[in-house]
Amino acid sequence: MSTSQVDVLCVGDVVTDAFIKLLDDRAEVSESHDGPVLSMPFATKIPFDHSEVINAVGNAANASVNFAKLGLNCGLISNVGGDSAGRDIIHTLDKLDVDTRFVRINPKKVSNYHYVLWYKEERTILIKHEEYDYRWPHFRKHEMPKWIYFSSISEHALDYHDEMIESLERHPEIKLAFQPGTFQMQAGIERLGHVYRRAELVAVNREEAVFITGGNYDDIHDLFNRLHDLGPKIVLISDGPKGSYASDGQNRFKMPIYPDPKPPVERTGAGDAFTSTFVAAVIKGNTVDGALQWAPISSMNVVQHVGAQAGLLTERELAGLLQSAPDWYKPERI
């Protein structure tokens, strides 16, 4: 077990994803008033192309693997069950150089296991979050991280947020990056306002920024202002194929997406790669506009592979792609 200080500890649920690649002619997507709907024949047997099981994924786990790949000393705070899936998750993280000393094994529980219906380049994920007894760890002096990267966690773990913030208030030198998950956004800013206030950096997509703040979707400056008012010094807003935006409170930038070398294979984990690469660049001392150039390259490469981690890049690989980027790939001050 390493005794060196951890650069960043990722916090959030970890899961095994079982991908099922559907045949193009055995399903279809139609539009409804609630958005696109994936349809397949009912009450029959449907052939599929193939399946792939990927261990140790989820927002925080994907970020931890990316941080390690980018050369940071990284660990994960999470929970697994006392089953084979839990053992496989820990073994996978160990192989990927993620410190697992804070991954808690729950002997009488099962590990999170999700099924991913993979149709063309998109996916529909069947999820079931297991309920664990969430406990914030007590750090010894040498275990104190420089950063906490906090992401998606169970809807029944709100008290865990309070424990984390209480711990961080005793250690003001630790910086917090917050990538809120669905349940955290639904909890609202009144309940989780202390998390936003403590955050050095908050990362969301444009729709999430509107949901959290009630701001104007069409006015990126309004969204920035409202998110900064919650407390974070740095705000990152992704906007799909339209690019991304970042603000440090003084300077605001817009960044285009990095050009895809070929059509995406599958989009799982693109957001996690984008956000964690941006945070890694900030941790390494980059400016906001410099970090904004790193992040889209990582998400571009992830969607060229199956799953959230196979396409993650080393810093050297990322720098090479940045060097070969087209002239128009640069941040624009807004």
Instruction: Find the CATH number of the domain harbouring 209.
Output: 3.40.1190.20
Is residue 118 one of the residues assigned to a domain? Answer: no
Is residue 52 one of the residues assigned to a domain? Answer: no
HEC string of the chain?
Answer: CCCCCCCEEEECCCEEEEEEEECHHHCEEEEECCEEEEECCCCCCCCEEEEEEEEEECHHHHHHHHHHHCCCCEEEEEEEECCHHHHHHHHHHHHCCCECCCEEEECCCCCEEEEEEEECCEEEEECCCCCCCCCCCCCCHHHCCCEEEECCCCCCCHHHHHHHHHHHHCCCCCEEEECCCHHHHHHHHHHHHHHHHHCCEEEEEHHHHHHHHCCCCCCHHHHHHHHHHHCCCEEEEECHHHCEEEECCCCEEEECCCCCCCCCCCCCCHHHHHHHHHHHHHHCCCCHHHHHHHHHHHHHHHCCCCCCCCCCCCHHHHHHHHHCCCCCCCCEEC
Is residue 63 one of the residues assigned to a domain? Answer: yes
**pLDDT by residue (tens digit) across 91-114?**
999 999 999 999 999 999 999 999
Is residue 22 one of the residues assigned to a domain? Answer: no
Is residue 301 one of the residues assigned to a domain? Answer: yes
Q: How far, in Å, CA of 111 to CA of 84, rounded?
A: 9
Give residue 2's pLDDT. Answer: 52
Question: Which segment of 62-71, 110-119, 138-147, 177-186 scores lowest on mean pLDDT?
Answer: 138-147
Q: How far is CA 150 from CA 65, 153, 289, 318, in A?
A: 14, 9, 22, 24
Instruction: Find out whether 11 and 60 touch, Cβ atoms under 8 Å.
Output: yes
**When comparing pLDDT for 268 and 124, which is higher?**
124
Is residue 42 one of the residues assigned to a domain? Answer: no
Burial class (CB in 10 A: 0-12, 13-18, 19+), 90: buried
- Asked whether the predicted pLDDT for residue 3 surpasses 60, the reply is no
Q: How far, in Å, CA of 36 to CA of 31, rounded?
A: 5
Instruction: Find out whether 279 and 183 touch, Cβ atoms under 8 Å.
Output: no
Q: How far, in Å, CA of 164 to CA of 186, rounded?
A: 19
- Asked whether the predicted pLDDT for residue 76 surpasses 80, the reply is yes
User: What count of Cα atoms within 13 Å lies in the side-chain half-sphere of residue 324?
Assistant: 8
- Asked whether the predicted pLDDT for residue 17 surpasses 50, the reply is yes
The structure's pTM equals 0.92
**pLDDT by residue (tens digit) across 235-259?**
999 999 999 999 999 999 999 999 9
Q: Name, in order, each residue with C-beta under 8 angstroms of 36's C-beta and a sequence gap of 6 or more.
A: 29, 30
Is residue 41 one of the residues assigned to a domain? Answer: no
Kindly calculate the radius of gyration of the chain based on its CA atoms and give it in whole angstroms: 20
Instruction: Find out whether 315 and 298 touch, Cβ atoms under 8 Å.
Output: no
Query: Which whole number is the average pLDDT over 117-136?
Result: 91
Give residue 1's pLDDT. Answer: 45
Query: Which whole number is the average pLDDT over 271-298?
Result: 97
Mean pLDDT, the chain, rounded, equals 94
Is residue 176 one of the residues assigned to a domain? Answer: yes
Q: Identify the domain containing residue 298 by its residue range.
A: 8-15+57-113+133-333
Query: Which whole number is the average pLDDT over 174-193?
Result: 95
Query: Which whole number is the average pLDDT over 245-274?
Result: 93
- Provide the domain count of the chain: 1
